[in-house]
């Protein structure tokens, strides 16, 4: 099977998906706008060929360059797991006659308003929402929905350019910050815990799913620099408190007619138990959450995704053994990291639970915490008991410090 893999070297987990494809026997043809020499040796080893195009953001030119480079070669699948390239992948599928999401199929995953309209029609509870093209329309939407509201891009990813507005004064302050966004969604604010529902799907049937819990919800974490955000992959996905959210996840897959590949969904559970859909993307979650799934079940999710999309099979035995926590750290101060405090004590007490130290080393420049959830790295830990997992994660958040100057 000949598989076009868009951007096999970036973001950071794309090389793992590329490896997975090669390991299940696919002939992987990488497509990117960086030279092959910029790819890691492991990525180059997984590729049967690599086509460097002028710019992945010029869709028409990319299609012309690929037609020339692949003349006479059959393309069986086109895969993209990076949000900005979803529509390019869809156009390439249509051009090469490959199965998968078409342009029309892809639009609901890129346009939050269209997405919610389709789910509204299917009877799935979504926040009240209005697409706004201007400042005046934002004000009209907020008055119709009622404060508090969330303002966010209809084609965004994660919680970038996303704001909660509790009052008209706060909306007035936020509107200039989203002036660069062509269309925003003004939505009802849902007060509740936020979770993911991540799936690998084969011919419309969910072969594997993961539920993760954001502590605290991303909107709060992105608004407070001092917070060490946590993502907890939950072992007990049969917990009664999650049942309605899991059921809704299955309903969303059916409503959108998703066939093969990864999806990443976010949903809310309110204090009264009501569950509300957040959004869904036709890609995996970022920030190393697929690695987190690997540690939760002790199998290779990258390879099983590849097997699912190329062979329509999922062979791993699904046994959720651990709760897995990622605790992301933000250095204090500016400049370069000069000290890491508390790590030795945490290792002494909990070293057996820590499976990955991804912290930026001393000497590394501090990253902009507003632009990346990973920030200055993370500790990943796992334990079969949820209460123990949360206690250790909170200890890491409270006692581990990265200092910059």
Domain CATH number, residue 30: 3.40.50.20
Judge whether 85 and 7 are in contact, CB under 8 Å. Answer: yes
The answer to whether residues 311 and 196 belong to one domain is: yes
3-class SS of residue 184: strand
Is the residue at 109 inside a domain?
no
**Helices marked H in 29-167 — which ranges?**
41-46, 59-69, 86-96, 103-110, 112-121, 135-145
pTM of the model: 0.93
* 381, two tokens: 């830990």
- The per-residue pLDDT string of the chain (405 residues; one tens digit each, 9 = 90 and over) reads 999 999 999 999 999 999 999 999 999 999 999 999 999 999 999 999 999 999 999 999 999 999 999 998 999 999 999 999 999 999 999 999 999 999 999 999 998 889 999 999 999 999 999 999 999 999 999 999 999 999 999 876 666 788 999 999 999 999 999 999 999 999 999 999 999 999 999 999 999 999 999 999 998 998 899 999 999 999 999 999 999 999 999 999 999 999 999 999 999 999 999 999 999 999 999 999 999 999 999 999 999 999 999 999 999 999 999 999 999 999 999 999 999 999 999 999 999 999 999 999 999 999 999 888 999 999 999 999 999 999 999 999 999 999 999
Q: List CB contacts of 269: < 8 A, sequence separation 6 or more.
A: 192, 193, 195, 241, 242, 244, 245, 275
Q: Which of 188, 207, 231 is the last residue of a domain?
A: 188
122, part of any domain: no
Report yes or no: 327 and 269 within 8 Å, Cβ to Cβ. no
Please name the residues in contact with 392: beta carbons below 8 A apart, sequence gap of 6 or more.
325, 350, 353, 381, 383
- End residue of a domain, out of 318, 343, 358: 318
- Decide: 17 and 42 in contact? Cβ < 8 Å: no
In a domain, 116, yes or no: no
- Domains: count for the chain: 4
């Amino acid at each position: 099977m000949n598989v076009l893999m868009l951007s096999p070297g970036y973001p950071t987990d794309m090389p793992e998906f590329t490896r997975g494809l090669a390991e299940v026997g696919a002939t992987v043809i990488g497509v990117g706008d960086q030279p092959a020499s910029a790819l890691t040796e492991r990525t180059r080893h997984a590729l049967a060929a690599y086509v460097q195009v002028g710019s992945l953001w010029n869709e028409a030119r990319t299609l012309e360059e690929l037609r020339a480079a692949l003349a006479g070669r059959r393309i069986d699948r086109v895969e993209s797991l990076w949000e900005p390239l979803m529509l390019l992948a869809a156009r390439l599928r249509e051009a090469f006659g490959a199965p998968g999401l078409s342009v029309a199929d892809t639009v609901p995953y890129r346009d939050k308003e269209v997405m919610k309209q389709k789910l509204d029609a299917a009877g799935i509870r979504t926040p009240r929402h209005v697409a706004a093209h201007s400042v005046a329309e934002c004000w009209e939407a907020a008055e119709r929905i009622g404060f508090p509201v969330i303002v966010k891009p209809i084609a965004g990813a994660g919680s970038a350019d996303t704001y909660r507005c509790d009052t008209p004064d706060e909306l007035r302050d936020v509107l200039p910050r989203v002036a660069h966004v062509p269309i925003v969604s003004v939505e009802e604010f849902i007060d509740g815990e936020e979770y993911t529902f991540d799936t690998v799907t084969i011919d419309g049937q969910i072969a594997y799913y993961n539920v993760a819990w954001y502590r605290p919800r991303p909107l709060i974490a992105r608004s407070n620099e001092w917070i060490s955000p946590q993502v907890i992959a939950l072992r007990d996905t049969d917990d009664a408190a999650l049942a309605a959210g899991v059921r809704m996840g299955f309903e969303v897959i059916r409503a959108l007619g998703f066939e093969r590949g990864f999806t990443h969904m976010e949903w809310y559970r309110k204090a009264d138990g009501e569950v509300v859909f957040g959004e869904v993307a036709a890609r995996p979650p970022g920030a190393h959450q697929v690695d987190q799934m690997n540690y939760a079940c002790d199998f290779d999710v990258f390879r099983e995704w590849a097997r699912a999309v190329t062979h329509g099979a999922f062979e791993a035995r699904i046994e959720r053994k651990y709760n897995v926590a990622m605790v992301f750290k933000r250095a204090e101060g500016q400049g370069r990291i000069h000290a890491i405090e508390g790590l030795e004590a945490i290792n002494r007490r909990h070293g057996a639970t820590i499976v990955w130290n991804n912290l930026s080393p001393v000497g590394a420049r501090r990253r902009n915490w507003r632009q990346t959830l990973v920030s200055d790295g993370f500790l990943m830990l796992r334990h079969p008991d949820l209460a123990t997992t949360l206690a250790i994660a909170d200890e890491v958040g409270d006692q581990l410090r990265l200092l910059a100057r």
